[in-house]
Chain A
Amino acid sequence: MKYFERNTLRFPQKDFDMIKEGVVSLGLVGVLVVGVAAIFGAPYRPAITNQDIANQKPILIMQTALGDLDGQGEMASYGPPYNNGWHGVAQNIQSIGPFSPQTWWGTPYHLNTATDDVLTPLSMLATASNDSALQTALQTYNLASYTQQQAWDNNFSNALNKATVQNGQVVVPPGNYGPVQLMMNDELALARSGLLSGALDRETNNGVYRWNIQNDLLFLQGAALHQYAKTIDMKGEQWGINHDEQAYPGPWWLTPYTFLYQVPPGSTSSSGDEIVAYTVAFLFLLLILVPFIPGLNKLPRALPVHRAIWRDWYKRLEQTNACASCPLSESCKKEFRGHAVTTTANAIPACYDQTSTKPAGGVRTAG
């Protein structure tokens, strides 16, 4: 024998039209969102391309490409899931003690910055433009010893710190740069033409269709995007993700998450991302389990907010004098007005019992 009881049926009922409620709500929300959309629109700031950076900050493009070539760039030595670091030394592996899930999957999204960001695009450029000087430069670089490559790279890296831009060209003091200077000039030219993005996008998509923009974005992800982001207060320590790029509401619901990046260890640890992610996961678990957490699941009873929400109900109980004959009616009233009262263990009367019309056992179903 099974009984179904929607236990709210034990309370007095009032007429309620749920269809009407839904229609009215849809109408109100519809007018609101369509109206606000028509008046205010939505934020949109065009994405930044390699071409933009090449035109505005040509030295920065060279520095980025050189970092990718000599292993000094952040992505060159990032570690999983992109690579195993630069010559085996990874810089960006996050771990809490020995717990490092970042490394569990190997390197599924493989990136070798020297090959992918510099040598392959330049080789494509040399072929496309039938440029034998570039072809020779690439050959010279590839055939040189690692020590020799590093020497050229270091020299050019130092030179870039003193570089100037004249008539759109990056001018460096004379020095022993081997083929690197020509390679960097051509990388800049490729970026300026807009074709560097195409070359990078090609690498992470195995055919005609373009879905995966990994290498294109990872080329820009360092100083190029950070410098720009800083000018519009979008960096992590500026509550980045939490606000939109213009004067619009952003994803404010990420506030607890973003907050953790403003305080240690989120703001200081090299494994800050992992720590913040698992802290948020833990807090979310607490939210899900509120009904089962002793203390937390009783908290709303102790807080007076429910008395405001159900004020009509508690007022009704007083007005109908439901507890007239109850010896504890005064203490019940006090309790619902927000005063602490002591309960007498033995005296448990039907005070403020809300079921003034009580069907016996609810609705019985066959079964």
Chain B
Amino acid sequence: MRTTVTEKLTWDNLLPSEQPIYVSSLVYSFGVFTLSSLVFTILSGVIMAAYGPTWYQYSSAGDFLRSVHFWSVQAFFFFMTMHLVGQFFMGSWREGRALTWVIGALSFGVSVLTAFTGYLSRGDFFSQWNQVQSKDAFNGAGLDGFLNILNNGQVYGLHIAVLPLVLIVLVAWHLIAVRAKGVVPPYQAAHVQQKEGVK
């Protein structure tokens, strides 16, 4: 394991000073924009968590932080979706990068759950309504054994600790996987792919 880590996590891989010349498109910035949005989501979320869940509903400073959190999440999902679509069109799971794709897609799923528990923690009509509406979905899917979606304590705990931790681990793993392999090369002509045995 130590050998693997030493080989793959070199500074040259993690923070390369050069990139292949085919890295030349706006598509390549969606990933780093997604990550930046996540940073602002986490920062605003940590401040809100410090003050507690009534603060962001009843004070103007809390309201502002909640707005920053809201728009960070919108930016996060926008850039993440663009990133996902872009990577699909580049076939970026090729040449040993399947795991990178799988972790990325899982991150997307965990993000959706995290955002949903966030909507339920807003403490307004939207929370209230989605809580009573989604209970049938969670119950019907059989998640009722673990999750009481009407228990704010559980939902809030999932939102500010459990799910973000899972997401951060997945995103970190995704980044390391991307850096360890480098960005996927462009599609070659069909003749060349045949010759090199690339599938």
Contact = CB atoms under 8 A, between A and B. Distances in A.
B95 to A, nearest CB: 6
A40 B144 CA distance: 37
Given A15-B18, A290-B88, A352-B192, A45 B139 contact: no
Contacts of B81: 253
Contacts of A339: none
A212 B150 contact: yes
A294 to B, nearest CB: 10
A94 B24 contact: no
A309 B19 contact: no
B17 A291 contact: no
Interface string B131-159: 11111110111101100101111101000
B154 A309 contact: no
Contacts of B20: 8, 11-14
Interface in A170-228: 204, 211-214, 217-218, 220-221, 225, 228
Contacts of B67: 37-38, 40-42
Interface string A39-56: 011111111100000000
Contact of B75 (A33, A221, A274, A349): A33
A347 B105 CA distance: 39
Prevailing SS type, chain B contact patch? helix
A143 interface: no
Contact of B129 (A234, A252, A352): A234
B11 to A, nearest CB: 11
A7 B19 CA distance: 12
B151 A212 contact: yes
B90 A306 contact: yes
B37 A33 contact: yes
Given A13-B18, A16-B17, A33-B72, A44 B24 contact: no
Contacts of B122: 44
Contacts of A81: 139, 144-145, 148
Interface of B: 3, 7-8, 13, 15-25, 27, 29, 32-33, 35-37, 39-40, 57, 63-64, 66-72, 74-75, 77, 81, 86, 88-91, 93, 95-98, 101-102, 105-106, 108-109, 112, 115-116, 119, 122-137, 139-142, 144-145, 148, 150-154, 156, 180-183, 185-192, 194-195
Interface of A: 2, 4, 6-9, 11-19, 21-22, 25-26, 28-30, 32-34, 36-38, 40-48, 80-81, 92, 94, 100-102, 104-105, 108-109, 204, 211-214, 217-218, 220-221, 225, 228-229, 234, 236, 240-241, 244-245, 248-249, 251-254, 271, 273-274, 276-278, 281, 284, 287-292, 297-298, 300-301, 303, 305-306, 309-314, 316, 328, 331-332, 335-336, 341, 343, 347-354, 365, 367
12 contacts: A8-B182, A14-B18, A16-B17, A94-B140, A102-B142, A102-B144, A212-B154, A245-B126, A288-B105, A328-B189, A332-B189, A352-B191
Which 6 residue pairs of A and B lie closest in terms of their CB atoms, listed nearest first? A101-B142, A211-B153, A105-B145, A8-B182, A291-B93, A37-B67
Given A225-B129, A244-B126, A300-B91, 15 more contacts: A4-B8, A6-B180, A13-B19, A18-B16, A33-B37, A80-B139, A212-B154, A213-B152, A274-B141, A277-B140, A289-B102, A292-B98, A306-B89, A309-B89, A348-B192
